[in-house]
Structure 1
């Protein structure tokens, strides 16, 4: 039995992140106005567990692999975050952060008829998830999140001037998520019940272990989520191992040869893929049903050798893949 997710999308930005030989970058972070060094600034590669913080002199040192393409994020409370291509930085780099302007607050174009309690319930559902696993996840700083509902467009938007802190006791991570955009397009019934048609979430994230020693249940949960992830599907597609890894492909309701609608070519360590139709249904393990679509004329995308795809906004997923939220999301450097 499968639910109908034909109007349901979840877009998530998964940035390229590939690793080879180790490199080290050192640098300094200063206040742009006072030129004073900033202590305790977070410096991390987006979506990974690789991060550090500046010392009392504003200095940081971080190791990385030479071919990484994940953005290096420099973030500090009260300042605008900055993101860099680490390959364009030299050791000893000086980074200046701009203090944030005083918050003007969210501008309400029309009256918002919903209570904060109702809006936060929808936000939690679409940001953390609505699965059994999501019950083991908690946002630690909900007061820092502002939620607004537009009754004309049936759109729920959320804003946060501070990183959203999530304690994920299912996968064993603490996640710091700097949210740039959250928008959920809803379908609202006459009695006010809201279901989600489409969700777009964008931001940068940093993962840290919840405990010093990774528990066995965390290891088991991570292995399960990786096996059911978009990352695993992309890796299987690039290696042409869809059937071996439990995936079946359907087009307009009929099972088709797995690569009939994919043009796959190797370009160095990356794989270039051209989707030859608007939409495909993906079945995993003969039970988990998803679909993927590219609503653009140019349907090319790339998969690196570890399974991350680019550009991240181009593809959208629904069904089983589309249900995945923070509760079920692993860092990009998992198992690398």
Structure 2
């Protein structure tokens, strides 16, 4: 049975290289010290000082939002302008009610559901297994026994220690669903899983060993694939593109236009295949490094890739095979290597 994954990153805005500075205050007009202001999915950002002030710069174009967060306040999301600008944000106080957990509502134990969540969210690769969710008690689960779906939620940002890749990752989980083909809580019975949210990265280790591990996680990843796709870089020794069992020329299937603001518009040639779900456009096999086999499914005829390798229409692109095994444990900042 094919397993596939949709990894959502919620990236929207388009901009050029800019500098950002401003002040973060609460709804009482008092400055907030220690608030996080960051570009989603990157190491780019800053912490506000005692006056609530911050500043940072963004070196390249990217499809992303600026996230502002602090404990006790609702997270704010800001679009990025096309030039340097001042960003002043007022955070609204957040009074979160504790959710009552009724154990009888779930068919499986919390420990069982947490184990499956970590397998599907962090991954079962070396990096995924080394990750630790420091505040896993903030997670709560529901299991739909009629449709065999595990769902996970958290009212607080997940704090993830990825010692294997040398990052501390803060992840705001907006959605997590894991579909199984029968009433089960085992990873081997997973049909598909999807998750989405906002993240920021802080380096905790930059040793040579960690740098090598990061490169291993990057090679063959979705980020690597889409950077190569935008540059039309396909070869037998890296990513090779196949339709059915035959290697094909990407130029026959992807039309890539480099726009003036360094964004890449991609148009996909629709395949004539019967018995497909509504909206199906194309399906390709991908071979990386002559050994990693994956598939990519497009349910959109076009999307945009930025200079970081992030792409739009993310909810209409599916993966299966080796590439889908890389979850948050192997996730790198989108500004990695730039």
Structure 1 residue 321: Cα displacement: 1.4
CA distance in 1, matches of 2:176, 2:252: 35
Structure 1 residue 68: Cα displacement: 4.2
1:14, 1:309 within 8 Å by CA — same for their partners in 2?
Answer: no
Q: 1:105 to 1:238 in 2, by over 3 A?
A: same
DSSP-derived class of the 1:188 partner: coil
Q: 1:193 to 1:321 in 2, by over 3 A?
A: closer
Give yes or no for the alignment of 1:130 onto 2:124.
Answer: yes
DSSP-derived class of the 1:330 partner: coil
Give yes or no for the alignment of 1:284 onto 2:280.
Answer: no
CA distance in 2, matches of 1:262, 1:13: 23
DSSP-derived class of the 1:309 partner: coil
Give yes or no for the alignment of 1:171 onto 2:165.
Answer: yes
CA distance in 2, matches of 1:7, 1:80: 35
Computed over aligned residues only, the root mean square deviation of the Cα atoms, in angstroms, reads: 2.6
2:11, 2:64 within 8 Å by CA — same for their partners in 1?
Answer: yes
CA distance in 2, matches of 1:17, 1:217: 35
Give the structure 2 partner of residue 118 of structure 1: 112
2:21, 2:87 within 8 Å by CA — same for their partners in 1?
Answer: yes
Q: 1:288 to 1:19 in 2, by over 3 A?
A: farther
Q: 1:306 to 1:29 in 2, by over 3 A?
A: closer
Structure 1 residue 40: Cα displacement: 0.9
1:236, 1:242 within 8 Å by CA — same for their partners in 2?
Answer: yes
TM-score scaled to structure 1, two decimals? Answer: 0.88
Give yes or no for the alignment of 1:160 onto 2:162.
Answer: no
Task: Pick one of 42, 64, 69 that aligns with 1:70.
Answer: 64
CA distance in 2, matches of 1:205, 1:96: 21
CA distance in 2, matches of 1:99, 1:335: 37
Give yes or no for the alignment of 1:9 onto 2:5.
Answer: yes
Give yes or no for the alignment of 1:216 onto 2:208.
Answer: yes
TM-score scaled to structure 2, two decimals? Answer: 0.87
DSSP-derived class of the 1:289 partner: strand
1:16, 1:309 within 8 Å by CA — same for their partners in 2?
Answer: no
Structure 1 residue 123: Cα displacement: 0.5
Q: 1:73 to 1:193 in 2, by over 3 A?
A: closer
Give the structure 2 partner of residue 304 of structure 1: 306
Give the structure 1 partner of residue 264 of structure 2: 271
Q: 1:90 to 1:128 in 2, by over 3 A?
A: same
Structure 1 residue 153: Cα displacement: 1.8
Structure 2 unpaired stretches of 5+: 272-281
Give yes or no for the alignment of 1:142 onto 2:147.
Answer: no
Task: Pick one of 317, 320, 323 that aligns with 2:322.
Answer: 320
Structure 1 unpaired stretches of 5+: none
CA distance in 2, matches of 1:152, 1:138: 31
Give the structure 1 partner of residue 19 of structure 2: 24
DSSP-derived class of the 2:308 partner: coil
Structure 1 residue 252: Cα displacement: 2.6
1:272, 1:302 within 8 Å by CA — same for their partners in 2?
Answer: yes
Q: 1:14 to 1:256 in 2, by over 3 A?
A: farther
Question: How many corresponding residue pairs?
Answer: 325
Give yes or no for the alignment of 1:253 onto 2:245.
Answer: yes
Structure 1 residue 17: Cα displacement: 8.7
